[in-house]
Structure 1
Amino acid sequence: MGSNSSSVNNIPNAQELMQETGFSAAHILRLHERFEFLDKDKRGQLSPQDFGALPELALNPIGDRIIGAFFSPGHFQQETGNVSLSPLSRQETVDFASFVRILAHFRPTETNRTRDGAQQEPVNSKTRKLKFAFQLYDQDRDGKISRAELLQVLRAMLGIQVTEEQLQSIAERAIQEADLDKDDAISFDEFRKSLEKVDIDHKMSIRFLR
């Protein structure tokens, strides 16, 4: 542990990242090693192409969307009781701190606290995980998953395993079950309710974080 603590002190903002994300010193060191491995040009920045060396994402059918989340991360704001998504400017590269913050969504859910003991929703809370998953579908950032957006993800995940007619049927059934306000789209609240019984930790995990 002493060796980890000593080494992690050589990583800029490591202590702040540990406090913010809940990653241990050992995790930060492992992620820094992975970041440096991907950073072939040693610029301290990663481009979307650099992520191609991660088999955990390269083999994922929606890996390109997960990679895209590193470069155009959305954030949710509370507006009159509803959760809405506001787009941020697209980034061309990400630094180590951004890399760690995004990957924190894939940590097992737990309760974190701020330094003064006040309760704070951690990056890897179930709600934050669901928000992250939601934006992988909601590519136009309008706060709803349209039928077309749902079909895009289904095609990527199921591919040639099913026919287009079957994909349409799956999408139709999913929207009928989740779309409580009958506007032919799925809002974040509807998305969250439809996944209440799903083990989100199991669904959102990356092997090298274990």
Structure 2
Amino acid sequence: MGNKVGVFTDEQIEAFQDCTFFTKKEILRIFNRFRDLAPNTVPKVMTRVDTNRIRLPYQQIQAITELRENPFCQRICQVFSEDGSGDLSFEDFLDLFSVLSEVAPMELKAVYAFKIYDFDGDNYLGKEDLQSTLKCLTRNELSEEEIQFVVEKVLEETDLDDDGKLSYIEFEHVISRSPDFMTTFHIRI
């Protein structure tokens, strides 16, 4: 009897299951999505080294339906890529889908939402971060005066310690009161 060679070893699947919110079937479905983006680059059988070594460029990742129209597509890919470039390995791609899955807890989603909005990476959402966020959300439809007005109002309402920026705790406080957060910060596989 012939042994069927799988995409991943049982140990790899177990490790992926331990680090994500997915079943084996869902992991394989996500792998197929990843492989479909570059079938000549991504092998049919992935070694442990391949799952991190083979990286698809941001330009290919942004083509997936779930990200194509998302105004934060580039930031999402940058945050989930190990080196911040936006190019994703399979493990990065799997992490992205896991965090944005419907079953991921709000606390985990909030951590990643904060990272996505923290454009300068200083662990605060300052005025520049809020401006960049607004520009993405509105697709540059607001004037500079409108953006400044909204940023000032956001800080006025949410900056509890009046330091001119939002800490993660202040951001989490806002998110916890947003009923739409869990329904909008996810993608289906």
Which stretch shows the higher mean deviation, 14-23 or 183-192? 14-23
Partner of 1:97: 91
- Residues 1-31 of structure 1 show CA distances to partners (whole Å, capped at 9, x for unaligned) of xxxxxx9953241221112212022211210
Considering fraction of residues, name the structure with more strand. 1
Match of 2:102 in 1: 108
Partner of 1:201: 182
Report the CA distance shift for 1:9/1:34 in structure 2 as closer, same or farther (over 3 A).
same
1:158 pairs with 2:138:
yes
Distance 1:188 1:162 in 2: 26
SS of 2:166 mapped into structure 1: strand
For residues 70 and 159 of structure 1, the distance between their equivalents in structure 2, rounded to whole angstroms, comes to: 22
1:111-152 Cα shifts (integer Å, max 9, x gaps): xxxxxxxxxxxxx22111101000111122211011011011
SS at match of 1:10: coil
- Partner of residue 168, structure 2: 188
Find the counterpart in structure 2 of residue 77 from structure 1. Answer: none
Q: Are 1:8 and 1:28, in contact at CA under 8 Å, matched by a contact in 2?
A: no
Q: Does the CA contact (< 8 Å) of 1:107 and 1:201 recur in 2?
A: no
Normalising by structure 1, report the TM-score: 0.73
User: In structure 2, which of residues 50, 69, 73 is the aligned counterpart of residue 59 of structure 1?
Assistant: 69
Aligned to 1:50: 60
RMSD: 2.3
Contact 1:8–1:14 (CA under 8 A) maintained in structure 2? no
Superposed CA offset, 1:25-64 (max 9, x none): 2211210110101124324431212213213212111111
How many pairs were matched up?
A: 173
% identity of equivalent residues: 26
Quote how far apart the aligned CAs of 1:98 are.
Answer: 2.3
Letter in 2 for 1:23: F
Show structure 2 runs of 5+ residues with no match: 43-53
Compared CA separation, residues 66 and 196, structure 1 to 2 (3 A):
same
**Contiguous gaps of at least 5 residues in structure 1:** 1-6, 73-88, 110-123
In structure 1, distance between residues paired with 2:63 and 2:145: 35
Equivalent position of 1:30 in the other structure: 29
**What SS does the corresponding residue of 1:145 show, helix, strand or coil?**
coil
Alignment-mate amino acid for residue 136 of structure 2: A
Between 52-61 and 142-151, the greater mean CA deviation after superposition: 52-61
